[in-house]
Structure 1
């Protein structure tokens, strides 16, 4: 199917097939020719991408490869071949107490500086990579040499992450960064509510370097201070900042961690949190004439006319990112479908290109980004798949590290059995 010719009146399944398969090409056709690692950014013009790979983008790319294999867009053998190449480069990439750098070189795997002070391990980027790797290990479960080799490699990479190192030996939060020459100079604790819930789940579930439950309760949950409970535009938001913040705060962990029926002492229903976050974002957009007239919504971190920004109802610069509404399909399906159909026809289809929708656009001026970003394209493929089949949710939630981490942190799930493996 030619995605760019999908009429807005096509069936929803046809529309979703088109958007998922075309967006997947970012991670397949647009990846580095030597390593197979997806670039952090590709250009709609087809201009060469910088040899920069975001480690989180690799994780999202692995999720996309799983979806593509399941849906038959690529064969299982070629998927395994690509993943083996990617894993070979990842194993040769420098790590910092087991954590990868934010950026690595697509050809060599060498660590790249994200900034002058951020030149070492990035625990949250590493988490999003591990999400993809764990799902791949659970999906490629056959008793064959290639699939067994993949699973063993994933186990080695995960076991090497020294999650407890990133607590700085304390009972408060995990810390985002560590530098081999500057130590903890970034001094950024990972505090909820944000995109990093799965960081704490995986850290607690590690067999080799686990954190203590106190790190979750005192750090992430801030002893309950991450609770919100206020109403915005008529919707009560259980957790997080006013109006919810950019939508990626819900999407990145929930690409794999199933919020449906998930609860702990701080939130009785994490799906309700995700639904509320999306609804507030959408309802806010419908108060803005330019968005309402175009029939679109979705504020999150994306490129914009003045560069990358973390857009939200409290920081609105007129920039709509397709990933925001499309990755909300599991939570607001009707509203997401409406936005999808509006974006298919926006300016005669000018949002569509070789890797799906452009990263962002400004309805008021007609500006369209000339880029695609891995961390925006990936959740589109993953979250639409969770809406359609729940595939990635099932894979991740059955993983022993995940079950162990959830139980240790006091979570329950009415949707999945999270009975921990022996020895929890």
Structure 2
């Protein structure tokens, strides 16, 4: 990928040209900004260079998806992407795992665990899910009958079959648990209940070819959460699932970089309608601006988890300190294309305040005159993936075509147009 210095998005580009430009420049985070040894995604990068070996497994899943987009759009060659994916797999194969489950953070040189917190020093099932969402898309995409691509698929399949999803039911309980540590066991006691970003975890656990879980784990665990069912009205919009006002927008992004919500239904919701309602409520809240934050309006919106002036927080209508995260509106492009494009144009006009070497900065707060000096893997990745799904459905079509995924979704009671015919 040829490097451009000082490149900024051009306001005169057409909508499609601007989307392409933003995707490509954001991709630099995962290409030029990747770890120099493993090419896994660093947890975060800064406006200025800083050495760091801490890579993120979930963010690397988004990196893999970004590689697929880059090959399809000819930003990099197929061989270049395969070479980097192979280097990632080198670390993932020899790195520390816990019953096949990866930690949240790893050392990009050695593959050893970097603790997230004092007791969070082992397996992270949700981060592992985000990683395999990307790897399984790569297995589907790199489908040529060549020795190199056959080997790549085989390595991904081996890692996939080794994940012991059922271990995280804690001896057969009807729920998945987020963390396990060889030092602290289940002491974090974090059961994964919905509605949140973790639908992908239950889908993969049900789809696993070797250590899978039964449908009761989904129905009695995830779907029984206090904030699972909603049905209330916010700004004239009915929200089927989730906490009051929907929560942070990454709920509509992380699982749905691969899972296609269009026509995806089960006993609880139509997930296309769910995500549309969530995004519209978030937009309407910012447009109405009940707390009178500076900058909020129809062109400047989007609350989700990101850095902020006080550290890091999952921003939402019920947790709003004036921080807008560009990824929130941009990764919502499939749901709110007009509103998201309007926000994109607004962010472009802000120039260097919001734009840096890896695309848009993580967040900003005009009320407090604060602009992040960071770019985060888990925020940059969904920008690329969800814009691509909006434009072509590429990643949705890949993930939903995977036989194990279709079987797992059917096991949980889901229906999708992908089960009958490929949709575009």
Question: What TM bracket, shorter-length normalisation?
Answer: over 0.9
Equivalent residue for 2:68? Answer: 66
| Per-residue deviation, 1:168 | 0.9
Equivalent residue for 2:23? Answer: 20
State which of 358, 361, 368 in structure 2 corresponds to 1:358.
361
Equivalent residue for 1:392? Answer: 395
| Per-residue deviation, 1:350 | 2.3
Distance verdict in 2 for CA 1:92–1:286, change over 3 Å: same
The 3-state SS of whatever aligns with 1:359 is coil
Equivalent residue for 2:243? Answer: 241
The 3-state SS of whatever aligns with 1:116 is coil
| Per-residue deviation, 1:367 | 1.5
| Per-residue deviation, 1:223 | 7.8
State which of 82, 85, 88 in structure 1 corresponds to 2:87.
85
Aligned-pair Cα RMSD in Å: 1.6
| Partner deviation per Cα, 1:290-309 (whole Å, 9 max, x = no partner) | 23358210000001111111
1:39-188 map, 5 Å: 39-45=42-48, 47-188=49-190
Is 2:412 aligned against 1:409? yes
1: distance between equivalents of 2:8 and 2:328? 22
2: distance between equivalents of 1:351 and 1:294? 18
1:325-340 map, 5 Å: 325-340=329-344
| Per-residue deviation, 1:266 | 0.7
2: distance between equivalents of 1:293 and 1:328? 16
Retained in 2: the 8 A contact 1:299–1:312?
A: yes
Gapped regions of structure 2 (runs ≥ 5): none
Structure 1 stretches of 4+ with a deviation exceeding 6 A read none
Retained in 1: the 8 A contact 2:298–2:343?
A: no
2: distance between equivalents of 1:139 and 1:76? 10
Retained in 2: the 8 A contact 1:41–1:50?
A: no
| Per-residue deviation, 1:121 | 0.4
| Partner deviation per Cα, 1:254-282 (whole Å, 9 max, x = no partner) | 01100100000011x10000001101111
1:184-195 map, 5 Å: 184-195=186-197
Equivalent residue for 1:250? Answer: 252
Equivalent residue for 2:271? Answer: 270
Equivalent residue for 1:422? Answer: none
Equivalent residue for 2:41? Answer: 38
Retained in 1: the 8 A contact 2:400–2:418?
A: no
Equivalent residue for 1:342? Answer: 346
Equivalent residue for 1:287? Answer: 288
| Per-residue deviation, 1:197 | 0.3
